[in-house]
């Protein structure tokens, strides 16, 4: 049973515009969330995280929003750049170090 | 500095063969994780070490899977009597902090194909 879902397998965005990647989860015990970025033939790279005590965390062009009541988080990339083209995974944790990953969204930023 | 490395990068095994996958974590990292990523899926947790202690192996799919980290650094994931459903990318990650929620740094993975 998939506890973390990314319902959009792919997304295309024009360079300079906003990319919005979405993630839904089912386990109300999840209290820590991360986004990872993955290029082909490489391992995932940590991008940004958010704790459930916050509803927003920002790092440069990347902002993660958390809506606990809707069990939904999103990653906003503004402005999008061609180098952002990659697969993005969201992950969630309830306690400890076990993280549950979504299936990923492949982002293509068109120059 | 050097990141997490994994070897081999690719492995083709015949069904029934035993395989061993190696992970070299970032030097000094306390925690080490193994994940299995099937095609089109996200990584799925297999097991977790803090130093040499295997604290969680709840994700190992069967008793054919075994992981060790005897000296608290390099780890080996062993799969005995491989089956076709074991075909996946096996990712290793390490984190500095032995406590909760340390950022995990991933290796490039070992792509295993069982024929």
Please state the rounded mean pLDDT for residues A14-30: 96
Contacts of A71 (CB under 8 A, 6+ apart): A24, A25, A26, A28
- Count how many pairs of residues, chain A against chain B, have C-beta atoms within 8 Å: 56
Strands A99-101 and A86-93: antiparallel
- Give the mean pLDDT of chain B: 93
Question: Residue A95: its chain B contacts at CB < 8 A?
Answer: 100
Proportion of chain A above pLDDT 70, given as a percent: 99
Grouping H, G, I as helix, E, B as strand and the rest as coil, residue B1 is coil
DSSP per-residue string spanning chain A: --SEE---SEEEEETTS-EEEEEEE--TT--EEEEEEE-TTS--EEEEEEETT-SEEEETTEEEEEETTTTEEEEEESS--GGG-EEEEEEEESSTT-EEE---EEEEEE-
Q: What is the pLDDT of residues A36-84, one digit of tens each?
A: 999 998 999 999 999 999 999 999 999 999 999 999 999 999 999 999 9
Chosen for mutation from B33, B41, B42 (greatest number of chain A CBs closer than 10 Å) is: B42
Q: B92 vs chain A: nearest CA distance in angstroms? A: 9
Contacts of A80 (CB under 8 A, 6+ apart): A13, A14, A15, A16, A17, A18, A19, A107, A109
Other Cβ atoms within 10 Å of B64 Cβ, number: 14
Chosen for mutation from A43, A86, A96, A99 (greatest number of chain B CBs closer than 10 Å) is: A43
Q: What is the pLDDT of residues B45-71, one digit of tens each?
A: 999 999 999 999 999 999 999 999 999
What is the dihedral sign for C-alpha A83, A79, A107, A82?
Answer: negative
pLDDT of B102: 73
Res A86 pLDDT > 80: yes
Res A87 pLDDT > 60: yes
Q: What residues of chain B score a pLDDT lower than 50? A: none
Q: How far is CA A1 from CA A10, A27, A100, B36, B56, in A?
A: 22, 11, 11, 16, 20
């Amino acid at each position: 049973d998939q506890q973390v879902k990314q319902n959009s397998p792919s997304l295309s965005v024009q360079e300079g515009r906003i990319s919005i990647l979405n993630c839904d989860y089912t386990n109300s015990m999840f209290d820590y969330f991360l986004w990872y970025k993955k290029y082909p033939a490489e391992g995932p790279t940590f991008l940004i995280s958010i704790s459930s005590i916050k509803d927003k965390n920002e790092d440069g062009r990347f902002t993660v929003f958390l809506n606990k009541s809707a069990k939904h988080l999103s990653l906003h990339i503004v402005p999008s750049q061609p180098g952002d083209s990659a697969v993005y995974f969201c992950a969630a944790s309830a306690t400890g170090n076990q993280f549950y990953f979504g299936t990923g969204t492949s982002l293509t930023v068109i120059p | 500095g050097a990141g997490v490395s994994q070897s081999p990068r690719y492995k083709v095994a015949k069904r029934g063969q035993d395989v061993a996958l190696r992970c070299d974590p970032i030097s000094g990292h306390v925690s080490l994780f193994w994940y299995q990523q099937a095609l089109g899926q996200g990584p799925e947790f297999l097991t977790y070490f803090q130093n040499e202690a295997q604290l969680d192996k709840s994700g190992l799919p069967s008793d054919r899977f075994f992981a060790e980290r005897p000296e608290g650094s390099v780890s080996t994931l062993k799969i005995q009597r491989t089956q076709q459903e074991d075909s996946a990318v096996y990712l290793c990650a390490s984190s500095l902090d032995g406590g909760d929620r340390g950022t995990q740094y991933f290796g490039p993975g070992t792509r295993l194909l069982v024929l």
